[in-house]
Chains A and B, each alone.
Chain A
Amino acid sequence: MTRPEMAGPGKTAITLAVNGTSRQLELEPRTTLAEALRNTLGLTGTKIACNRGACSACTVWLNGQPVLSCMTLAIDAAGQEITTIEGLAHGEALHPVQDAFIEHDAMQCGFCTPGMVMSCAALLERNPHPDAEAVRDAIAGHYCRCGTYPHVVAATLAAAERKP
């Protein structure tokens, strides 16, 4: 990880690799990854609900691992592959977890859904055939006020069935 010795408090130049594209940004070092994605890059699919790591709505991938983007400084994400909800599908083809979420109605208001999808998709990347308990563990840090958990678990298990 390359990182300047000291930066800030003013804006500093950083490069983020987001959804396969390199983006040059001028950001104050205190900017979180969630803020950089939403406010600077306009990638508002990543949601901020608690803004301190309690609800997981802001989940994105860093090098394929789910992280809380509200608890990650953008500057610390430089040099890593960032995947957001906008980058999960391949063109028109949705990730199997996304398809299954639609089919099983694993969403209501949908505000927690991008984060849920990122955690469930990451689970299937590391464990293609999880059981229900593994899915529950994968989303144990996510809050959904509408109560979609049963359908989220069902959808993720169905997506796993469908994956080769």
Chain B
Amino acid sequence: MTATRTEIFSAGIVEAGLGTVTREIPAGEPPPWPPNAELTWIGKDVPRLNGRDKVTGATRYTVDVRLPGMLHARFLRCPLPSAELRKLDTAAATALDGARAVIALARPGDRLRYAGQPVAAVAALSPGVAAEALAAIDAEFRPLPFVVDMDEARAPDAPLVYDEASAPKGNPSGFPAAPGLPVVGNVRGPAVVRRGDPAQGFAAADIVVEGEYRTQVQTHSCLEPHAIVADWRADGLTVYMSTQFTSGVRQELAALFGLPLNRVRVVVDGMGGGFGSKSQLGVYGRTAVELSRLAGLPVRLALDRHEEQIDAGNRPGTFQRMRLGAKRDGTLTALAIESHGTAGVALGAGIGFFAERIYTCPNFETLQHDVFVNAGPGCAMRGPGNTPGAYGLEQAIDTLSERLGLDPLALRDRIDPSKARREERRIGAERIGWSRRHKPGADPGAVKRGMGVAQSLWMSNVQTNVACEVRVLRDGSVEALSSVQDIGTGIGTVMAQVVAEVLGLRPGDITVRIGDTEFPPGGPSYGSRTTASITPPLRTAATRVLAELGREAARMLNAAPEELEAREGRIRVKSDPGRSLAFRDAAALLRTDRISAVESRADDYPGFRRRMPDAAMAHEDLGGVQFAEVAVDTETGAIRVERVVAVHDCGRPINRLLLESQVQGGVLMGVSYALLERRVMDRRTGLMVNADLEHYKLAGVHDTPEIEVVILENLQGNSATDAYGIAEPANIATAPAIANAVYNAIGVRLTSLPMTPDVVLAALGKTGRS
């Protein structure tokens, strides 16, 4: 048994009034932090510490890495959506002057299942020679029947993407697919989640609402493409990679190439966007390492924009049938969903656990199916499953509220058990001016305005396999180290704030070294878990090094160590602050050049809701409520999102400036998903026709609404920092909030994404012969 002690924590939503919670915590954990108002750096707007490097172009991204003797690699990709590889002769490519390594990734007789699937790869002295070498590969493809449209793929006579034996069992994002599901034609499933008795629930309902919703395939469109520089040497492998998970990639590489972990190093400095798509090693990563091993030289492999759009992951498209049963007072009696989704040749197109967890409903059923089509594999993307799932359910709830004659907020007050979202609805309604909301389609002019709301839910994820180190050097300088990577969230700055808070220094005094597996293993930056995972052990480690420093300082100050505190750059006696030492002078008393503490992530104090080998989920989910105000031009069909109010919670907020950035980003990705983005596959050629950034439309500044961000301080007494994540919740509610606002504007419900002008005009009956 670990020794424990009892502590009383502030708990509750600060904005709604605080209470306390008593926790039995491990004896080595730091004392409770008070609310942010009483802290120096936590919860404050600290500008990101690597900002200077970013605005001067000094940040080194993977695509910027240049090593001596570095080769350039390229893929030969399958040009057809479905083909048999008849011939693959690489002799001429291998013989080409300047080509240093050629590998086949498929063999004659192999079935290739999407346009863009890697077939072979070359490494050469320059990109130009690599391109020549690709051209010298003699490859023949026999075209086979294909299907790229999900509805067509569900037809009984559709060309088969897989047979039952060859169908994938998991998906490339590493999300486990439910095992043992039947595959019939191109459809795998259903994966079933059931509680209570849905049939009885519908029978008991006063009102039943049904709806069908469709969401498109969205590409991640990271501005920095997937890229790696692999440097295989006799004494070990070093990989520079644009990744969301350095230590995970290290594990994959060690296992794949039979290397001990201590001979594999993964490094990332600048990381130009991932959004879920850069979580694994991937075929490109594996290929670059293999080429480097063969050539005995470093190899750079960076996808070009076309490759990035067709074969770097995507958010699966979905078709959802929803059925909701309710009593007249709004109480839900039953919820049933059947969904089909496509992640191309991969699995993972479910619509998540959004409906399963967000509302109180005793009788519940989801039947989720994956449909295979001949297109690039999907993977996790910002709020996977829940983002399309919320688009459907939050519209169905909006429809239900109207049928019941209840305000959408009042209905949610009745059926949503989350205290955080209740407060978020209250604050958001006030900020957006919800009382101004009119009846659907009530605006008289051609441009009709409307207001809508939708909610978010995401797991409070924690990576338990996470460690970090804090060092104090004898000159008073401080380092915080972990392999955790900054994918744009500013985690390094957050780490500096935590250490500075403990040591009584300024964030700028802390040198943060991250993005390198030479340091203690940080967790992944996906699943909105980075801050939740790394900040508690970091605070504990900082507390431990301070205690060691305090023992030296106490002798000098003739005080007991527990009488001391670290504030404003000094170690001082709490009861007599005049008796103090500069932090630097205290460090000079150390017997060695450096002291250090390494800590790993302890469990949340009240335990976890669910545990996996390296990760866990906290008891309380993350919430979030978003309100949108739109203007719909009923003559052109154009939707303009004018304003979004996004109210979110993430436990204890550490840096409000950075949080605001992330929430704005989540909202904008949601606006883009709602109105603009769509991967377009040509049914006749099986190719993606908009695999670029001209025709694949992303939201630009002129599509950007005014965005107001509110972050609650939701204290739970769960860990040394009580902090959780925000990235995914910020994206999930946006599209349905916009859809509900559009309904409120025009009085016609749009049920498919993206909500482009043609969709609006069709819904208004203004296209074709009508």
Contact = CB atoms under 8 A, between A and B. Distances in A.
Answer yes or no: are A and B bound together in one complex. Answer: yes
Interface of A: 38, 42-52, 54-55, 57, 84-86, 88-89, 94, 98, 101-103, 105, 107-114, 117, 136, 139-153
22 contacts: A43-B57, A47-B223, A50-B305, A50-B692, A51-B305, A86-B57, A89-B56, A94-B52, A102-B52, A102-B55, A105-B48, A109-B487, A111-B273, A114-B57, A140-B701, A140-B702, A141-B700, A142-B700, A145-B221, A147-B699, A148-B661, A153-B701
B270 A109 contact: yes
Contacts of B225: 49
B60 interface: yes
A151 B45 CA distance: 14
A112 B665 CA distance: 14
Contacts of B271: 109
Given A45-B58, A52-B694, 19 more contacts: A85-B55, A86-B57, A98-B55, A102-B48, A102-B51, A103-B47, A107-B54, A108-B489, A109-B271, A109-B487, A109-B488, A111-B272, A142-B700, A143-B698, A143-B700, A145-B275, A146-B488, A146-B665, A148-B665
A149 B692 contact: no
Given A57-B223, A98-B56, A105 B488 contact: no
Contacts of B699: 147
B186 interface: no
B58 to A, nearest CB: 7
A45 B665 contact: no
B751 to A, nearest CB: 26
A149 B664 CA distance: 9
A57 B57 CA distance: 12
Contacts of B490: 105, 108
A48 B56 CA distance: 16
Contact of A150 (B47, B64, B693, B707): B707
B666 interface: yes
A139 B701 CA distance: 7
Contacts of B629: none
Q: Contact size class for B? A: 35 or more
B59 interface: yes
B57 A85 contact: yes
B621 interface: no
Nearest to B695: A54
Contacts of B63: 44, 47-48
B668 interface: yes
B693 A55 contact: yes
A76 B86 CA distance: 45
B658 interface: yes
Interface in B290-318: 304-305
Contacts of B698: 143, 145
Interface majority SS on B: helix, strand, loop or mixed? loop
Nearest to A151: B661
B641 interface: no
Contact of B55 (A47, A109, A113): A113
A54 B661 CA distance: 24
A147 B665 contact: yes
B387 interface: no
Contacts of B669: 145, 147
Interface of B: 47-48, 51-52, 54-61, 63-64, 66, 220-225, 270-273, 275, 304-305, 487-490, 657-658, 660-662, 664-669, 692-694, 698-702, 704, 707
Contacts of B704: 147, 149-150
Contact of B305 (A49, A88, A147, A152): A49
B664 A148 contact: yes
B39 to A, nearest CB: 20
Contacts of B489: 108
A108 B658 CA distance: 8
A152 B707 CA distance: 13
B662 A108 contact: yes
Contacts of A114: 55, 57
A152 B664 CA distance: 12
Nearest to A100: B55
Given A107-B55, A145-B273, A146-B273, A54 B701 contact: no
A150 B664 CA distance: 8
Contacts of B59: 110
A52 B56 CA distance: 23
B657 A105 contact: yes
A24 B391 CA distance: 56
Given A44-B60, A45-B58, A111-B61, A50 B272 contact: no
Nearest to A103: B47
A86 B51 CA distance: 14
B624 to A, nearest CB: 16
B223 A54 contact: no
A37 B693 CA distance: 23
Contact of A152 (B275, B662, B667, B701): B701
Contacts of A111: 61, 223-224, 270, 272-273
Contacts of B64: 38, 44
A57 B63 CA distance: 14
A143 B693 contact: yes
A44 B305 contact: no
Nearest to A108: B488
Contacts of A143: 223, 693, 698, 700
A105 B61 contact: no
Contact of B223 (A49, A89, A139): A49
Nearest to B488: A109
A77 to B, nearest CB: 18
Contacts of A107: 48, 51, 54-55, 488
Given A55-B223, A142-B700, A105 B57 contact: no
Contacts of B57: 43-46, 84-86, 114
Nearest to A57: B223
A114 B701 CA distance: 16
B701 A42 contact: no
**Nearest 3 pairs of A and B residues by beta carbon:** A45-B57, A147-B668, A109-B488
Contact of A147 (B61, B657, B664): B664
A138 to B, nearest CB: 9
Nearest to B271: A109
B429 to A, nearest CB: 22
Nearest to A109: B488
A42 B665 CA distance: 31
Contacts of B702: 136, 140
A110 B66 contact: no
B485 to A, nearest CB: 11
B51 A101 contact: yes
Nearest to B731: A147
B701 A105 contact: no
Contacts of A150: 664, 704, 707
A103 B700 CA distance: 22
A38 to B, nearest CB: 8
A145 B701 contact: no
A148 B658 CA distance: 11
A105 B661 contact: yes
A49 B701 contact: no
Contacts of A48: 63
A144 B488 CA distance: 12
Considering residues A49, A55, A112, A151, which has the most beta carbons from chain B within 10 angstroms of its beta carbon? A49
Contacts of B487: 109
A145 B692 contact: no
A102 B489 CA distance: 14
A42 B700 contact: no
A163 B205 CA distance: 65
Considering residues B51, B489, B490, which has the most beta carbons from chain A within 10 angstroms of its beta carbon? B51
B295 to A, nearest CB: 20
B270 A110 contact: yes
